Structures are given as C-alpha cells and as structure tokens.
Amino acid sequence: MYVIRLPNGNLRVPHSAVLERGAGDEAGQVIGQAYVEIGPDDPDYERLAGQALTVEELEHRRRQWRDGDEALLQQFEEWKAQRNDD
C-alpha cells in the first residue's frame, strides 16, 4: 500500500487494524487494512508527504506491473504447453 497525494492536497495513508489482545499467536495479528485521509494539519503529514505518489504516478506503476505480468504470463503458458506436450 502506498501513500497517495490526492488532487486536493490531502494524503491517503495506509492504516492497519491490529488485534492487540488474543490468545497466543493471535495477539499482534493484522485483522484489516484500509486507507485514511489526512490533511496538512496532521502531525505526520510532512513526513508522509515526502513519500507520496500522485494518483497518476500510482496508475503508471500499475500499468507497468500489468505489462510485466503479460510477459511473465506468456512465458508460463509456453512452459505449461511444453509440459502438456511431453
């Protein structure tokens, strides 16, 4: 999850809900992840703003991942077809 700079200047920041109490291994377990929106008046704004991506930058990264996935998928399909031929 990324810090996203919204067009209005606010930041959309990842936030996790953690199970604080539980039996044994359950304590400290992440039970949910979401985004919260913060503005310039938030104490963490300046620190988080330095790593924020714009909506356009995030979409560009997603396109790059999908493009890279297509080549990998093609490789896998060729490998799978070869295994089925054997």
Q: Are 49 and 5 in contact (CB under 8 A)?
A: yes
The domain limits of the chain are 4-85
| Cα–Cα nearest to 50, from 1, 20, 5 | 5
Amino acid symbol at 37: E
pLDDT the model gives residue 1: 77
pLDDT digits (tens, 9 = 90+) for 52-73: 999 999 999 888 887 777 878 8
Output the pLDDT for position 21.
64
The residue ranges of the chain whose pLDDT is under 50 are: none
User: pLDDT at position 41, please?
Assistant: 97
- pLDDT score, position 44: 94
Whole-number pLDDT of residue 65: 81
